[in-house]
Structure formats: C-alpha cells, structure tokens
C-alpha cells in the first residue's frame, strides 16, 4: 500500500464499482491504491478459500496502466476497477483449471473474450476464483481446491457460498474485490449470489460471448457479473456483453446503456407470479420473502399478476439430461494428450489405459457422474427416450415463458433458492439429487435462454441472506435490471457478514 | 448442343463354383474441400507443412475454444451439389460424432448426420462410347478431417500431427448403383473430374485429398433388379465396407477380392458378417478391422456450439449462375461444334487444361485436324516424356500457327511434323521457322508439271499399267514428291497425275 494512501482508500475494497469509478475519475483514489486495498483483503481472506490463483503482479501492472489512462482522461467505466475471475475463464498466462485436477498446470495462451474486453476497458485482474469442478455443483464442494467458504457465519459451522460460482460470490460479499465474473448454467450465478447476499445476473443466452470460457453445457452456459449492487451489475455487464464473431451463438445485437435504464420507475409494469414455483413444503420464510417482494413491486406501482408456467416441474429432470449430455461431449477433450494432467502409465499400458487412468485421476466424482449420465442419455437406444425427449420438453418450457410474456408480463418474480446457505458437507453426501434440488428455481431460465437476476432482499431467522429472483424478457436486461433496482431499493438490504476470517 | 444418349452397361458377373453372382457397390467418397482455411478455424490447409504448424487453438481443442463455420467451405459444398445436379438444402445442421482418439483433439468430429447440406443428385459414369451408368447420389455432407497419428517413429511413443485436423471434407455418398470393379474406378474418376472442373477438390489421391470407402455385397442375378423396383435392401446381400482407399487400381483389386471372398463364404453355406475391412495391397486381400456390432456408439447429437446452417436461395442461385461448363456438357459441345468423335471428345475433356488447350488450338480452325494433332502428336509426346499439358513446350498458339501453315498449303504434312519437332525443342514462331528452314510446299504447278511430264515420257510401261489399274497411279505421285524433295502438295500432284493419265 502506498505510503500516502488515505484511510478511506485503504477501505476502498469495500466500495461499489460505481463509487470507485467516480472516485477514480475525480482523482480521489488511484487504481493502484484500490488494487492494493483488494490485494491486502485477499491475503487476509485466505480462510475463505475464494481466490485460488492470485495475480498481484498482473493486477499492479494493470492498475498502473489504468492510472495512466485515467490521467489521460481516457477512462471507460471499468478502468481501474479490480475484479476477480471465476476459474472457468481463460486468462492468458494465468492458471485456468475450471476447479479441476485434470487441468492442473494449464495456463492458456489466450484470454477469453469477456476478460479481454474487461482488460481492454482498463479493469484490473486480481486472480482466479474458486468454483465447483467444471461448474458442476451447487455448493463449491466439488472443487479440486476444496470448497470456498461463505463469509456469512451464524454459528460454529462453515457454510457453503453456493455454487458453482461460489468463490466469486464469497469474494464479492467479503469485499475481496469490487466485482467478480461468474457463469450460470443452471443457477450458478444466482444461487451463490443469494447465499452470499449479493447481486448476480445471468444475461440472455447469446448476450455475452462464451469464447474462452471452459464449456460445461454449451447451450446453457452464460457468463455474467456478480456485484454488491444492481448498478454495479449494470456497469460490469455492459463491459462484458456484445456480439463476438468467434462465438457462433453470440447475438448480433447492440449493447444498451444498462446503467441509464436504472430509473426506478416501474409504474404500470406487470409482474408475473408463477404459481408452479410455490412448491409443497416451501419454507415459510421463503414464502414470506416472496410475498414481501410482491408488496415492494406493488408499492412501486407495478401490477402483480398470477401466471402459470405449467411445464416447470419437468425443468430439473430436463436440465439433468441436457446438461450432462453436452458435458459428456465437451469434456472429452480432457484426455491427457495435449495439456493438463496425464496419468503415470504402467509398462504395457496403451492409449485406452492412458485415457482411463488420466480421466479417473483428473475428474472428481461429480464430474464423473455427469459424464456417465450424459454418455448414457446419448447412447444408441436411449437417445430418443432421454435426450430427444428432453429437447422437446425444453421447447415446451420455453413456450411457457413466451406465452406469459406475450400476455403482457414484463418480469417474473420468484425465489432464487429454496433455502438460505447450508453447511458445508450437509447436502448431497448420500443422494446427489438432494444437491440438484438447489437449482429448482433457476434452471428453467437457462433452458429457456432468458435473463434472470438474483437480488438480496432480507435475512432469515438465523441471520443469513435470502434473495429473490427476477426473470426478464429475452434481450431486455436493461428493463430487468431496472426492476431489480426497484426491488433493491425497496428491500434496503445493507447487512454485511461480520469478519471472522 | 448434342444430346448424347447412353445405354446401361451389363453388370459384372463372377462365376462361382456353384452359380453366377453379381456385385453391388456403393461408395462414400471423402473429398477434401479446396479452401485456404479449415472448416471451423482460420488455420491454413497447405499440404506438406512442418508437423503441427497449421494448428489453431480450436483445432487443438484448447479449453473454451469454439468453432466458427468457414463460409467458403459451405459455398464449395453447394457448388459441388449443383455440379452433381443435387438438391441443395437451405437448412442443414452440424452434429457431433463422439469417439476418443489422439488425433481427434475435441473427442468428437463435427459432421452432418441428421441434416446434410446436399441431398439427392446423380453422376453419369461413361464406361465406353455410348455406354454409361447413372449413379445416384444420396447425400453430401460437410465434416472435419482428423489429424494423423504416427506409430512407427519411436518404439514406445506415438506422435500426433494436427495439421489436417479440422480441414473440411465433403462426404459424397452414392446409392448402391455401381455394378463392378471397373465401374467403381470409373465412378471415382468421373467424380474426381467433376470436382476438379468445379475447383471444389483438387482430387489428389496420393495426398489423401480424395479417399473412398467402398461398400461391397454380392447377390444372385435378378436380385438387384428387385431391389431397384422396391428400393428394399433385403433383396441384396450383406455388405462389407472397405475403408480408406486412395488408388483406383487398389479399389478395383479390393472389390474383386472382396466379392470373391463373399462368394466363397456363401457357396460354402456360410453367412457374410457386416463389418469394416481394410485392403492390404501387398497381399492383395481385405482384412477385418472390427465388427460393426462391436463398433463405437458415436452418440451423435446436434452440436450446441453451432447454430443450424441456413442459406438463402438467392445465394445458391448466384453460385449456380457462376458455374463452369462441366465435363458432360463440354464433351457434347466438342462433338457438336468441332465434329469430334465420342472418343476424341472424351480424351480432350478429361481435364480442364487439356480442354482449354484444344479449344484455343481449334478456335477458327478445323476441329478434327486440331484434335488429331493435340491428341496424337502433342499428348503422345507429352506422355512419352511425362509432362503435363500445363508444362507443354509447344503452346496452343504455336500449334495453331503451324496448323494454319498446313491448312493454307504453305507447308506439307511432312514439313508440319518436322516443324513440330523444331517448335518442341526450340520454341519460337512457326512461320519464321518454316521460312528459315526452307519449308515451303511447291504450289507452282508448272514445276510439278515439268517433273510429271518427264516421268511419263521416261516410263511408258508404268503409264500403261496405271491406265489398266488406277491404283498404280500412286507410283507417279510418289516419284513426283521425291523429285521435288517432299515440297509438293500431295493433293495437287494426285490431281495432276489423274488428269495427265486420263484416269
């Protein structure tokens, strides 16, 4: 930390992106000071196991360059803003392992489109963030680095930050960075955001380039920001988004000014409440939170409308056919031939033994389970019964949403998670499906390709954060963020985890 | 244009120990698309580069890499489809064919199983003048080539070269309409000719740019006709697929071997197993690779990294409007416009370079004479020294200039052959050479007349003989030509001999 750094700047790691941006432009703080504050917090936050590869040298180099740009008056919004990057994004020269042993030692020769855009805009890379292996998990426990830990703690138990972007959520909630990059295939941004009391948005499929992001399930994966406020989400998303000719599934659409859309005015908007999301046995706290959310939207002048999304109950099984199917193929490239881990072979072992040993050693049990499930549903004789049927159901789920939006609904309000954060080691030990149920409110959007945002709305009786989810029309992230902004302001969620780490 | 009609050839019949058998053959041709870049990456397709020099991140399947379709490869596939008079599918899609192998970095090949870009078409395969087989094309799809595994460089290690990984291939699938080894070779040759005319594949079989998988089965005479009536494959025998053939000669030998192998099994009361086989040219036999039942389950599914390929009819029309003249049309035109025989027209249209050379020689000249000189003198000479038409020492303009001297009677046929020799070795202008070497036909009839009169006067017996038998008048022509040192025009001399002898 520079000697002349003010007391305020030493706590700048806790600022919002918007605050930091404004202070940087006014010259009240330097990018180097801001970065030093984050690096100090990161080093002090090792107990959270959020950062798995720290990049202090790269960060300071980028911060100095950002300061030069700021001095020159050429400063995009992200210039000088220190961010953490989920280990799924390729960052040139920096270990990129997707939380897996099979990519041990892998340092890509390229940056993902998203990170390249951020660095191009002057953002500062603090390091790589913990995650479930290949983004498969809802608790961060499948990570090869061991789980990240939720900074929220109400008793002697360590809690999950959620997953798969658990490291990202924990780092933002614990003020280790101003914002983090996450990815969301079935809820991997929104669920950890809700568990850690922060904001996370999964954009419309095709809004953000997937190039350079390690693939889990290609037709579902989408990157998005995880931040402390809705405004920050708008700022970071704008820097991440945009058409990329290197990703054939990226949309050729202009990126709107998301921040400018945050007017706080949703008068006359129709908010859909899907009756199928009111699950049997839903905790009363979740139901009450949802009701409070409806009141907040109603008080802001929106109309609350009861809607039906009849195929919701098929979403989870559909997801757990399609995602593993694509994953089984996407992960075939991790074979020990070109990069990453290769097993030591015995005398006489051939190529088959090399594949088997390498993949058995390199992939953890959850990844192996999904590869096997995916291989099974794509195999001859089962393809129609599973994969093809799932594709058809997926179309029906998408149509449910289309009909709701066609009927005039502007946004859909639902819980983000069926519970608050649970203890590490408490779920999925005996039955993996228990863990899969965490995605029940989130997977539908991925199947439909829609944007969704999780916003912290309150604390449960234990004192843990709970979030609500807003679902928007395709490509209408600006409008969706404005709805989230209204919810955020009405909820007035300002609680922070007490520092125990 | 001449409308050529053909009769179908009779199928090859192999006499077994017990009865006759017919062959039924279908082929899958893998043709490397002529393009600078690979199907889904910007890496170069240049043959013969250092190992792993032409490899993009996506070809090496680095984490997070995504394929982006090369539009030019799509255009080439469409052009090929149009050249085979095939249905162009405006909607097609890419699927993943999953299997593990070190030279397949992604762990899957991107191909088009469910929705190929080209549907049904046809190829007319001429076997001899007036005889041709119409082979139906089932489909053409685009797919990625694999890399190369090298197992014989080190006793313990295998090496992988990814230069070819991801290069675009067209898989051209025929119906089982080919009925013998010669037809199979002719089919490959015709397809290769069309692809080269189109510029969509260089057809280089040695480099593996054109490879064939050959499906062979045998049946009793009459069964194939039942299949054609019903399109019901149960009338045909069980087929075996001979993989990866890249020589016309080996294709024929392999089919013949395989047919006889199957016949022997069947006549022995056995059953042919459907399987994939490899041809061993050293032993001239096919060997089982693996049984199809045990084969990999490829777990095809639509590639989620690629949107369906949707193309516009207007774009297809634009490609169609820019199509070159294809071999069948060119041959018919040569026969009609230049009066060539079927055989000569076939020879001259075998490839674009020969056809182009001939056409510039024949333009404004007598087509048959031009064809004779191009085929007999020039091609004969080129073949002898192993040169291609592109490297011909005699240009079309030179040969044409020489033919002009011949046609106008300025030089004789014999002089023309000498002049051709000079042009071949020295090059230069034909007229200048003719002048320099004193090549000038005697067209002065007075000189010929003097020589002839002297001969008649000196040889009364010969005159009598010729008057009795007109054929013997040729003696006088020969003597006059000799007397004038080969410079007289034989036709002029002939006419004068006939006139003087009153024949």
Tell me, what's the pLDDT at B290?
67
Nearest CA in chain B to A339: B62
Task: Check CB contact of A248 with chain B, cutoff 8 Å.
Answer: yes
A465 three-class SS:
strand
Looking at residue A134, its pLDDT comes to: 98
Kindly determine whether residue B66 and residue A211, on different chains, have CB atoms separated by under 8 Å.
yes
Compare CB distances from B64 to A214, A217, A379 and report the shortest one's residue. A214
Number of domains in chain B: 3
Residue B444 pLDDT > 80: no
In this model, does residue B445 exceed pLDDT 80?
A: no
- 3-class state of residue A29 by DSSP: coil
**Residue B175 CA to its chain's centroid (Å):** 20
- Answer yes or no: do B201 and B281 share one domain: yes
- For residue B290, being part of any structural domain is answered with yes
Q: B304 to chain A, minimum CA–CA distance in Å?
A: 5
Where is average pLDDT lowest: A226-230, A329-333, A379-383, B317-321? A379-383
Q: B5 lies in a domain?
A: no
Q: What is the pLDDT of residue A4?
A: 47
Name all contacts of B434-442 with Cβ < 8 Å and 24+ positions apart.
B434/B405, B434/B410, B439/B411, B439/B415, B440/B410, B440/B411, B440/B487, B441/B409, B441/B410, B441/B411, B441/B412, B441/B415, B441/B487, B441/B488, B441/B489, B442/B484, B442/B487, B442/B488, B442/B489
Assigned domain for B282 exists: yes
Q: Is residue B4 part of a domain?
A: no
C-alpha span between B394 and B382 (Å, rounded)? 10
Q: Which of A8-17, A59-68, A377-386, B486-495 has the lowest mean pLDDT?
A: B486-495
Answer yes or no: is B224 within a domain.
Answer: yes
Tell me if A335 and B67 make a contact (CB, 8 A cut-off). no
Structure tokens at B484: 């004038």
The pLDDT, as a whole number, for residue A261 is 98
**Helical (H) or strand (E) element with B83:** helix B71-83
Q: What is the pLDDT of residues A355-379, one digit of tens each?
A: 999 999 999 999 999 999 999 999 9
Output the CA–CA distances (angstroms, integers) from residue B151 to A339, B103, B163, B257, B468, in the order listed.
Answer: 20, 12, 17, 28, 83
Domain boundary among B418, B436, B454: B436
- In chain B, pLDDT over 70 holds for what percent of residues? 98
**DSSP summary character for residue B296:** -
Helix (H) or strand (E) segment spanning residue B141: strand B131-144
A78 touches chain B (CB under 8 A): no
The secondary structure of A271-326 as a DSSP string is EEEEGGGS-TT--HHHHHHHHHHHHHHHHTTPEEEEE--GGGGGHHHHHHHHHHHH
- Least confident range of A357-361, A410-414, B6-10, B140-144: B6-10
In a domain? residue B305: no
- Check residue A2 and give its pLDDT: 45
Would you call B107 and A387 a contact, using CB atoms and an 8 Å cutoff? Answer: no
pLDDT surpasses 70 at B424: yes
Confidence of residue A323 (pLDDT cuts 50, 70, 90): very high
With 50 as the cut, is the pLDDT of residue B293 above it? no
Kindly tell me if the per-residue pLDDT of A426 is higher than 80. Answer: yes
Choose the final residue of a domain: B384, B414, B436.
B436
Asked if B56 and B201 sit in the same domain, the reply is yes
Do residue B64 and residue A335 have CB atoms under 8 angstroms apart? no
Q: Name which residue leads in pLDDT, A35 or B452.
A: A35
Give me the pLDDT at residue A430, please: 77
Element (H, E) at B373: none
Chain A residues near residue B62 by CB distance under 8 angstroms: 108-110, 339
Q: Do B85 and B223 belong to one domain?
A: yes
Q: What is the CATH number of the domain that holds B457?
A: 1.10.10
For residue B7, being part of any structural domain is answered with no
Among chain A residues, CA nearest to B63: A214
Mutate to test the interface with B, among A335, A340, A381 (most CBs of B within 10 A): A335
Cα(B235)–Cα(B394) distance, integer angstroms: 56
What is the predicted pLDDT for the residue at A1? Answer: 41
* One-character DSSP codes across A65-115: HHHHHHHTT---TTTT-EEEEETTB-BTTB---TT-GGGTT---SS--HHH
CB contact under 8 A, B100 and A355: yes
Partnered with residue B286 across adjacent β-strands are: B279
Give mean pLDDT, residues B367-383.
Answer: 95
Domain boundaries, position B51: 13-297
**Does the structure show a pLDDT above 80 at B2?**
no
Percent of chain A whose pLDDT exceeds 90:
93
What would the mean pLDDT of A467-474 be, rounded to a whole number?
A: 98
B64 contacts A326? CB cut-off 8 A: no
Q: Are residues B266 and B371 in the same domain?
A: no
The pLDDT of residue B295 is 60
Which range, of A260-264, B423-427, B446-450, averages the lowest pLDDT?
A: B446-450
Q: Do B100 and A332 touch (CB under 8 A)?
A: yes
Q: Indicate yes or no: CB of B64 within 8 angstroms of CB of A212.
A: yes
Binned at pLDDT 50, 70 and 90, residue A260 comes out as: very high
The proportion of chain A whose per-residue pLDDT surpasses 70, expressed as a percent, equals 99
Q: Flag if B304 and A219 touch (Cβ within 8 Å).
A: yes
Residues of A forming the active site: 86, 164, 188
pTM attached to this predicted model: 0.92
Question: Chain B within 8 Å of A335 (Cβ-Cβ)?
Answer: yes
Percent of chain B with pLDDT over 90: 80
Pair (B432, B450) in one structural domain: no
Helix (H) or strand (E) run with residue A403 in it: helix A389-406
Query: What is chain B's mean pLDDT, rounded?
Result: 93
Instruction: Please indicate, yes or no, if residue B267 is contained in any of the structural domains.
Output: yes
Residue B428, both tokens: 């230069």
Interchain pair B299, A379: CB under 8 A: yes
Over residues B27-57, the pLDDT tens digits come to: 999 999 999 999 999 999 998 899 999 999 9
Average pLDDT score over chain A? 96
Q: Does A339 touch chain B (CB under 8 A)?
A: yes
Q: Kindly list the residues from chain B whose CB atom is less than 8 angstroms away from the CB atom of residue A326.
A: 304
- A383 part of contact set with chain B, CB < 8 Å: yes
Both tokens of residue B221? 């005479």
B interface with A, Cβ–Cβ below 8 Å: 57, 60-69, 96, 98, 100-102, 105-108, 158, 160, 297, 299-301, 304-307
State mean pLDDT over A379-384: 93
**B95 and B221 share one domain:** yes
Are B272 and B386 part of one and the same domain?
no
Please identify, among B436, B455, B482, the residue that sits at the C-terminal boundary of a domain. Answer: B436
Do B421 and B291 lie in a common domain? no
**pLDDT tens digit sequence for B391-412:** 999 999 999 999 999 998 888 8
Q: Are residues B177 and B195 in the same domain?
A: yes
pLDDT of residue A3: 43
Residue of B43, B55, B63, B71 best to disrupt the A interface, most CBs of A under 10 A:
B63
* B486 and B385 both lie in a single domain: no
Say if residue B240 is preceded by a cis peptide, omega within 30 of 0: no
Residues of A in contact with B158 (CB under 8 A): 351
Q: Are residues B153 and B206 in the same domain?
A: yes
Q: Are strands A124-129 and A82-86 parallel, antiparallel or unpaired?
A: parallel
Q: What tokens does B164 get?
A: 């070819």
User: How far apart are the CA of A461 and the nearest CA of chain B, in angstroms?
Assistant: 42
Residues B204, B141 share a domain: yes
Overall average pLDDT of the A146-157 stretch: 97
Both tokens of A6, joined, read 């003010």
Chain A interface, best mutation among B42, B60, B64, B297, by max A CB count within 10 A: B64
Q: Do the strands B20-32 and B168-174 form a parallel or antiparallel pair, or are they unpaired?
A: antiparallel
């Amino acid at each position: 930390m520079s000697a002349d750094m003010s007391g305020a700047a030493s706590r700048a790691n806790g600022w919002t992106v918007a605050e930091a941006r404004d202070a940087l432009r006014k010259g009240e703080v330097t990018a180097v000071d801001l970065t030093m504050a984050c690096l100090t917090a990161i080093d002090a936050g090792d107990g959270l196991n959020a950062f798995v590869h720290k990049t202090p040298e790269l960060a300071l180099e980028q911060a100095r360059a950002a300061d030069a740009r700021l001095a020159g008056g050429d400063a995009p919004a992200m210039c000088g803003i220190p961010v953490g990057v989920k280990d799924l994004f390729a960052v040139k020269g920096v270990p990129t392992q997707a939380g897996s042993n099979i990519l041990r030692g892998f340092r890509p020769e390229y940056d993902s489109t998203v990170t390249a855009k951020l660095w191009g805009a002057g953002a500062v890379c603090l390091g790589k963030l913990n995650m479930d292996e290949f983004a498969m998990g809802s608790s961060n426990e499948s990570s090869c680095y061991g789980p990240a830990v939720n900074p929220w703690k109400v008793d002697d138990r360590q809690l999950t930050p959620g997953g798969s972007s658990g490291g990202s959520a924990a780092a933002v909630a614990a003020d280790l960075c101003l914002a983090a990059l996450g990815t969301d295939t079935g809820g991997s941004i929104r669920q950890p955001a809700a568990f850690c009391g922060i904001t996370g948005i999964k954009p419309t499929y095709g809004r953000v380039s997937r190039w350079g992001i390690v693939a889990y399930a290609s037709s579902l994966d989408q990157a998005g920001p995880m931040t402390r406020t809705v405004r920050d989400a708008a700022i970071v998303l704008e820097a991440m988004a945009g058409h990329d000719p290197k990703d054939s599934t990226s949309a050729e659409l202009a990126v709107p000014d998301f921040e400018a859309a945050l007017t706080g005015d949703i008068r006359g908007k129709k908010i859909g409440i899907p009756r199928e999301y009111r699950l049997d046995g839903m905790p009363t706290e979740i139901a009450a939170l949802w009701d409070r959310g409806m009141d907040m939207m109603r008080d802001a002048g929106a109309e609350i409308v009861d809607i039906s999304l009849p195929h919701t109950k098929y979403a989870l099984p559909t997801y757990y056919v399609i995602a593993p199917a694509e994953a089984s193929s996407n992960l075939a490239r991790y074979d020990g031939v070109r990069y990453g881990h290769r097993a030591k072979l015995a005398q006489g072992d051939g190529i088959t033994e090399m594949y088997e040993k390498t993949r058995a050693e390199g992939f953890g049990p959850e990844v192996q389970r999904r590869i096997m499930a995916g291989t099974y549903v794509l195999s001859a004789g089962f393809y129609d019964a599973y994969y093809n049927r799932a594709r058809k159901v997926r179309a029906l789920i998408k149509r449910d949403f289309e009909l709701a939006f066609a009927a005039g609904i502007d946004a859909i309000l639902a819980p983000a998670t069926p519970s608050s954060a649970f203890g590490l080691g408490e779920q999925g030990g005996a039955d993996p499906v228990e863990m899969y149920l965490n995605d029940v409110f989130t997977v539908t959007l991925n199947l439909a390709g829609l944007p969704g945002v999780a916003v912290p709305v309150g604390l449960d009786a234990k004192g843990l954060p709970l979030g609500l989810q807003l679902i928007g029309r395709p490509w209408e992230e600006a409008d969706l963020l404005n709805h989230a902004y209204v919810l955020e302001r009405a909820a007035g969620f300002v609680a922070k985890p007490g520092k125990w780490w | 244009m001449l409308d050529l009609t053909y009769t179908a050839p009779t199928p090859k019949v192999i006499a077994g120990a017990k009865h006759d058998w017919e062959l039924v053959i279908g082929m899958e041709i893998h043709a490397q698309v002529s393009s600078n870049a690979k199907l889904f990456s910007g890496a170069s397709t240049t043959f013969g580069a250092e190992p792993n020099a032409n490899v993009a991140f996506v070809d090496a399947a680095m984490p997070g890499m995504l394929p982006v379709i090369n539009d030019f490869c799509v255009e080439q596939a469409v052009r090929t489809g149009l050249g085979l008079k095939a249905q162009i599918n405006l909607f097609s899609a890419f699927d993943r064919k999953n299997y593990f192998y070190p030279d397949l970095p992604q762990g899957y090949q991107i191909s088009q199983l469910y929705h190929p870009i080209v549907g049904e078409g046809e190829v007319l395969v001429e076997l001899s003048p007036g005889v041709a087989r119409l082979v139906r094309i089932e489909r053409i799809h685009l797919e990625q080539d694999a890399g190369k595994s090298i197992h014989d460089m080190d006793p313990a290690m295998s090496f992988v070269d990814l230069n070819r990984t991801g290069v675009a291939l067209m898989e051209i699938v025929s119906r089982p309409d080919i009925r013998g080894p010669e037809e199979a070779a002719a089919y490959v040759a015709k397809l290769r000719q069309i692809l080269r005319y189109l510029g969509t594949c260089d057809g280089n079989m040695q480099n593996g740019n054109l490879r064939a998988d050959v499906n062979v089965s045998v049946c009793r005479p009459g069964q194939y006709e039942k299949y054609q009536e019903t399109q019901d494959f149960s009338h045909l025998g069980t087929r075996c697929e001979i993989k990866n053939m890249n020589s016309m000669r080996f294709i024929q030998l392999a089919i013949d071997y395989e047919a006889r192998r199957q016949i022997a099994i069947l006549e022995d009361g056995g059953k042919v197993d459907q399987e994939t086989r490899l041809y061993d040219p050293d032993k001239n036999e096919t060997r089982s690779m693996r049984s199809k039942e045990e084969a990999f389950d490829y777990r095809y599914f639509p590639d989620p990294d690629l949107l369906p390929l949707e193309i516009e009819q207007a774009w297809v029309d634009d490609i169609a409007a820019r199509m070159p003249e294809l071999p069948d049309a060119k041959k018919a035109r040569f026969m009609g416009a230049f009066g060539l025989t079927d055989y000569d027209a076939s020879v001259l249209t075998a490839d674009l370079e020969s056809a182009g050379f001939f056409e510039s020689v024949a333009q404004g000249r007598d087509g048959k004479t031009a064809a004779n000189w191009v085929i007999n003198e020039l091609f004969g000479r080129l073949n002898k020294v192993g040169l291609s038409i592109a490297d011909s020492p005699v240009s079309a303009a030179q040969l044409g200039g020489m033919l002009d001297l011949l046609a106008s009677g300025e030089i004789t046929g014999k002089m023309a052959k000498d002049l051709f020799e000079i042009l071949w070795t020295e090059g230069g202008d034909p007229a200048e050479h003719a002048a320099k070497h004193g090549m000038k036909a005697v067209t002065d009839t007075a000189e010929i007349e003097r020589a002839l009169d002297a001969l008649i006067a000196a040889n009364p017996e010969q005159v009598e003989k010729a008057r009795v038998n007109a054929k013997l008048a040729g003696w006088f022509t020969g003597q006059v030509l000799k007397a004038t040192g080969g410079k007289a025009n034989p036709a002029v001399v002939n006419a004068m001999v006939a006139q003087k002898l009153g024949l």
